[in-house]
Amino acid sequence: MRMTLRWYGPGYDTVTLEQIRQIPGVRGVVTTLYQKQAGELWTESEIRELKRTVEGAGLEISAIESVNISDDIKTGAEGREEHIENYIGTLENLGKAGIRVVCYNFMPVFDWTRTELARIRPDGSTVLAYNQDTVDRLDPDHMKESVEAMSGGFVMPGWEPERLDRLKELFRKYRDIDEEKLFQNLIYFLRAIGPVCERYDIRMGIHPDDPAWPIFGLPRIVTGKEQIERLLKAVDRPYNGLTLCTGSLGSKQQQGEILDIIETARGRIPFAHVRNLKFNSPRDFEEAAHLSSDGSMDLYLIMRKLYESGFDGIIRPDHGRMIWGEKAMPGYGLYDRALGACYLEGLWEAIAKDRQGRKGEGRPCRGASPFLVFERT
């Protein structure tokens, strides 16, 4: 297991690489070329410059999140072939740079949805939150104003201004797209990129839908075990994998399903987003600290299941609280995510040492210290 932190790049993130480097156990970042639009080609020189910046701070690029999928690809529209060719070219350039994990999503219009970006919790921290009653009352045509008012001046991933300006057009684009059409367009895309993924040993990890149910009448195709199992079987190759997001999958309040998915997708999870949610009702949840007791999810059970499945991929602590007066992109400050990384590293170490004690031996994993972290033999 390799612990990482998400980093949006120079000019887009208040957290510096130097700060990330000082978090115990974190040796890499999950990053992107934030300025690139979906469908555009990432050039070799752009990727080299990003890699040079990260490695210059003593870190590695552990994964890319994300090379965004264009709506033409998702809907099978006229520009699909050109955008797929650009995507293949981007993957080839990433492969040449030695980058082997790419996270992406296939969600229509909205990459993720929250109704509050700074809900105040009892301890005074602020968090991302979701309320279904609020969503039911929302007019998507006016979401740009709502997001801009909540974002504190930060450009939110998946909610970029140029995308919000096109909401009416995007909704029209998906008018005749149901779940089966969206699924078949995903399969078409995955088969098209297969050769370049296999040439460079790139593992794609699809991000589950967030939240895990349809909103605004838009289709959702990655919401639970049955859909994930169908997807992995439809393109039954190692490069077709899952980004396990405990928050997205956990939005249904079925933690047992997350454990089942880890088993179902054994060997096909290159990347995991691990976070905690606090449920206030079946229609309302908020982000919590990673500590299990602060929310409604048992992160110990999730980390133990990952360990027992032989997981050897990348983990990042997902959305954090805004604490200690920090001003940053909602969900992506430094302090609470650093606490989360240390908490998850501690769980992994304890689980590994417990297994080591039972079996009498173990082998070092790719953690911060080969003397502290062991994985199964």
Catalytic residue positions?
207, 245, 273, 318-319, 332
Written as six digits, the tokens of 147 are 């997001």
Cβ contact 166:145 at 8 Å? no
CA 126/CA 333 separation, integer angstroms: 11
Written as six digits, the tokens of 298 are 């048992």
Cβ contact 311:271 at 8 Å? no
Extract the runs of DSSP E, i.e. beta strands, from 23-107: 26-31, 60-65, 101-104
CA 255/CA 140 separation, integer angstroms: 30
Distances (CA, A) of 222 to 188, 231, 232, 267, 277: 16, 8, 11, 18, 19
DSSP state of 103: E
Phi, psi of 258 (to 5 degrees): -60, -45
- What are the helix (H) ranges across the chain? 17-21, 44-56, 71-75, 80-96, 132-137, 143-150, 161-164, 167-173, 179-200, 225-234, 246-250, 255-264, 299-308, 335-359
Angle between helices 299-308 and 255-264 (to 10 degrees): 10
CA 232/CA 283 separation, integer angstroms: 30
Written as six digits, the tokens of 260 are 């089942």
* Helix (H), strand (E) at residue 278: strand 276-281
Gyration radius from the chain CA atoms = 20
Written as six digits, the tokens of 284 are 């309302």
DSSP 3-state of 262: helix
Written as six digits, the tokens of 164 are 């919000």
